[in-house]
């Protein structure tokens, strides 16, 4: 069954609701035609913390990185306490799906080195490192970096 409204109008309505997460989730349930546009807003900011959003769960829900909503993510926050990246096979391929990130935030432990994130997104403009060694190679992998 197709929506009563043209897709362009439906997209404008969804865009207007960009900060209403509960409403956007409801739109996804109501109509499949809403899903692509709502993902743009629901996954614009992604945080991986050890308690409330583990990477393992994301990988389980979206096993194919190329078909995940990661390409909608513009702001990514990763807390190293969440996991040791070495544990996960294919983490580099998985993390590369976040190729549109403009704001990147790391909360890594003192000795952790965020290797999978080198050159993650060529459009990163803002990088926030918390308690992490500043690696020149990491910084050089973001040519558009404006804020550190």
* pLDDT tens digits along 3-53: 578 889 999 999 999 999 999 999 889 888 899 999 999 999 988 876 555
Query: How far is the C-alpha of 141 from the C-alpha of 49, rounded, in Å?
Result: 24
Q: What angle do CA 74, 80, 82 make, to 5 degrees?
A: 95
Domain boundaries, the chain: 1-42, 43-148
* pLDDT tens digits along 67-120: 889 999 999 887 765 545 444 445 666 777 888 999 988 776 555 556 667 777
Side by side, the strands of the sheet bearing 103-107 are: 45-48, 75-79, 103-107, 126-130
pTM: 0.77
Stretch (H or E) spanning 24: helix 21-30
């Amino acid at each position: 069954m197709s929506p009563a409204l043209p897709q362009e109008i439906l997209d404008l309505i969804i865009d207007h609701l960009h900060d209403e997460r509960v409403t956007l989730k409801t739109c996804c349930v109501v109509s499949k035609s809403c899903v692509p546009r709502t993902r743009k807003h629901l996954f614009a900011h992604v945080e991986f913390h050890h308690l409330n959003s583990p990477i393992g769960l994301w990988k389980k829900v979206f096993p194919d990185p190329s078909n995940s909503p990661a390409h909608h993510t513009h702001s990514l926050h990763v807390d190293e306490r969440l996991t040791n990246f070495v544990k996960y096979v294919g983490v580099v391929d998985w993390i590369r799906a976040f190729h549109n990130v403009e704001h990147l935030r790391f909360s890594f432990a003192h000795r952790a080195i965020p290797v999978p994130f080198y050159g993650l997104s060529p459009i990163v403009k803002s990088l926030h490192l918390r308690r992490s060694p500043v690696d020149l190679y990491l910084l050089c992998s973001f040519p558009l970096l404006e804020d550190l």
